[in-house]
Amino acid sequence: MTERIESAPEWAAVRSLVKSVDLAAEFSSDSRRAEDFTMRVGDLLIDTSKNLWTREIRTALAEVARRADVAEAWRRLRGGEIVNESEARPVAHWALRVPVGSSAVVAGRDVSTDVHEVLGAVSRFADDIRSGRRTGATGQLFTDVVNIGIGGSDLGPAMAYDALRAFRTGPRCHFVSNVDPANTRAVLHGLDPARTLVIVSSKTFTTAETMANAVAVREWIVDGLGAGAVSSHLVAVTTNTRAAASFGVDPANVFGFWDWVGGRYSLGSAIGLSLVIAVGPVAFGEMLAGMHLVDEHVSQSVDQPLANAPLVHAVLSIWYSNFLGAETRAIVPYAHDLHRLPAYLQQLDMESNGKSVDRVGRNVALSTGPIVWGGPGTDGQHAYFQLLHQGTHLVPIDFIGFARPVDGDQERHDALMANLFAQSQALAFGRPLDASLPSAEHRVFTGNRPSTVILAPALTPSVLGQLIAFYEHSVFFQGAVWGINSFDQWGVELGKDVAHGIGQELVDGRHHVSDPATRRLIEWYRSHRHRSVE
């Protein structure tokens, strides 16, 4: 689409509807609002009724999605066409979760057999580790797994490992991503190299931070077990088999994936190896099935915007970003095991849609990609919720909760969920001035603070997969409306390029940097880098 969506009459129609929405009045005048603004997909119940919109606004936003032809954008994605134009690649993370026997055509070729061959190899390897059929160089069982990656090679597996805590039945997993030596030291502290398997996850096997950490951990293995042990303790997930072999990885222990899988969409690929080892192939397969369930929901309803749950979520986000001026969105799971989910969704959304040019290279005229942040409830209630309730910023919130705890203690879980429901209600309806109270004006809550509530029966592998796919599709549809490429990430490259030159200057002192301010900082750093900590 080369037309700018903001020039379309459908966009103007939405703009004409911008007004103050009184949630209390909307619920009072519409007895079916709660029911009609609630959607279901798989096990997910998505309640959008406490948002600042009306039926008319929702319908008008759906027409914007039609005008942007998001259905065709989805069909091109699902058809394996090149939709990442700047890198001339198709995008097919959806192919990672098609069932056995189903086709997945990418760039004119059915890749389903390739996908299931790799997933089968991952499952067999994981079963060998979990059962003890595969051991370390000294014959001892693996009790710990260290996953070395960054970005999508870390955030996805780490998030899912914590989220599926109750389903872990294999070795403990640990995650190294930050090139700060403190990260590696903290992870390796107390681990026995003889019982530790190391997974190096890097598509190209050249990612600077990942390889620096991999070198450090390989040295830890060599120091503890000798150079001959490396091949028994190192595994690679990469497309660069030759580089992995040169690093000491047995080619039989290299698991590949494809350039049509972006890092932030790669959890369902071999990148999830650490998770498969932790929870087992069956649970991992249930997660993939949950993702596929939402994929199918989107395929079946893509021509019916108001029946497509991720698309409704997407246009709601566009409503806040482009018409009401909201710059952020908070993700607040009332589940400690999902404490990493906000960071995972932060990358998914901000790396996908944080773009300032459209698909044909024109500067965008609209705000794209909200700032995504958040943390688990109820901790947030005693931190940033003051701003959400009484601050001056409009912050739409996604609350996520579950009917049952995965490991008992329903009584405390009830208390947790009471807080979720209370926060959503209090934000929406507030509290008026009560002059009988001391400092009465400070106790006023204006209400009309929007939130979406997403509920599921329990945090199972399938439900986790459904949540991930739900947000993936919401992010995709937002990008499709804005006319941007949601699948490249050139914004991460410049800093890496500059860091290479600066890294040389930190060592040799020769000027590689023309910026005088940065040069002064480097000079200060070099003058202090060898001083002992006092």
The length of the chain is 534
What's CA 461's distance to the chain center, in Å? Answer: 16
d(CA 176, CA 163): 18
Q: How confident is the model at residue 42 (pLDDT cuts 50, 70, 90)?
A: very high
Residue range 123-148: average pLDDT? 98
d(CA 147, CA 155): 11
Lowest mean pLDDT among 164-168, 209-213, 477-481, 530-534: 530-534
pLDDT at 34 over 80: yes
Scanning the structure block, which residue is given the tokens 């995504």?
372
Could you tell me which residue, 301 or 239, shows the higher pLDDT? 301
Scanning the structure block, which residue is given the tokens 């329903």?
410
pLDDT digits over 382-411, tens only? 999 999 999 999 999 999 999 999 888 999
The domain 93-279: what is its CATH number?
3.40.50.10490
Domain ranges of the chain: 24-89+287-431+443-489, 93-279, 500-534
CB 22 within 8 A of CB 52: no
Asked if domains 24-89+287-431+443-489 and 93-279 share a fold, the reply is yes
Question: CA 368, 374, 377 angle in degrees (round to 5)?
Answer: 150
Q: How confident is the model at residue 451 (pLDDT cuts 50, 70, 90)?
A: very high
**3 state DSSP class of 196:** strand
pLDDT at 449 over 90: yes
Q: Which residues are designated catalytic?
A: 351, 382, 496
d(CA 383, CA 391): 13
The one-character DSSP state at 85 is G
Pick the CATH number of 24-89+287-431+443-489 from 3.90.650.10, 3.30.470.20, 2.70.150.10, 3.40.50.10490: 3.40.50.10490
Region class of 435: left (phi > 0), else alpha (psi between -120 and 50), else beta: alpha
Residue range 424-442: average pLDDT? 96
Residue range 108-122: average pLDDT? 97
Q: How confident is the model at residue 452 (pLDDT cuts 50, 70, 90)?
A: very high
pLDDT at 221 over 90: yes
d(CA 196, CA 111): 33
pLDDT digits over 477-520, tens only? 999 999 999 999 999 888 888 887 788 888 787 777 778 898 88
What percent of the chain clears pLDDT 70, i.e. is strictly above it? 99
pLDDT digits over 322-377, tens only? 999 999 999 999 999 999 999 999 999 999 999 999 999 999 999 999 999 999 99
d(CA 54, CA 416): 30
pLDDT at 473 over 90: yes
pLDDT digits over 3-14, tens only? 899 999 999 999
Which stretch of DSSP H or E encloses residue 455? strand 451-456
Q: Structure tokens of 306? A: 């108001």
**Biggest alpha carbon–alpha carbon distance for the chain:** 78
Q: In what order do the strands lie in the sheet with 196-201?
A: 172-176, 144-148, 196-201, 234-237, 254-255
When the pLDDT of each residue in the chain is averaged and rounded to a whole number, the result is 95
d(CA 23, CA 132): 58
What's CA 220's distance to the chain center, in Å? Answer: 31
Q: Structure tokens of 509? A: 């002192």
CA quadruple 61, 373, 464, 32: dihedral, nearest 10: -40
Residue range 12-35: average pLDDT? 97
pLDDT digits over 156-188, tens only? 999 999 999 999 999 999 999 999 999 999 999
What's CA 11's distance to the chain center, in Å? Answer: 29
pLDDT at 534 over 60: no
d(CA 287, CA 357): 34
Could you tell me which residue, 525 or 471, shows the higher pLDDT? 471
CB 420 within 8 A of CB 399: yes
pLDDT at 256 over 60: yes
Provide the pLDDT for residue 502. 87
What percent of the chain clears pLDDT 90, i.e. is strictly above it? 90
CA-closest candidate to residue 153, choices 68, 257, 73: 257
Provide the pLDDT for residue 533. 57
**3 state DSSP class of 172:** strand
The one-character DSSP state at 247 is T
**3 state DSSP class of 392:** coil
pLDDT at 124 over 70: yes
Cross-strand bridge partners of residue 236? 200, 254
Provide the pLDDT for residue 385. 97
Kindly give the pairing relationship between strand 38-41 and strand 44-47: antiparallel
Provide the pLDDT for residue 532. 65
Kindly give the pairing relationship between strand 397-402 and strand 451-456: parallel
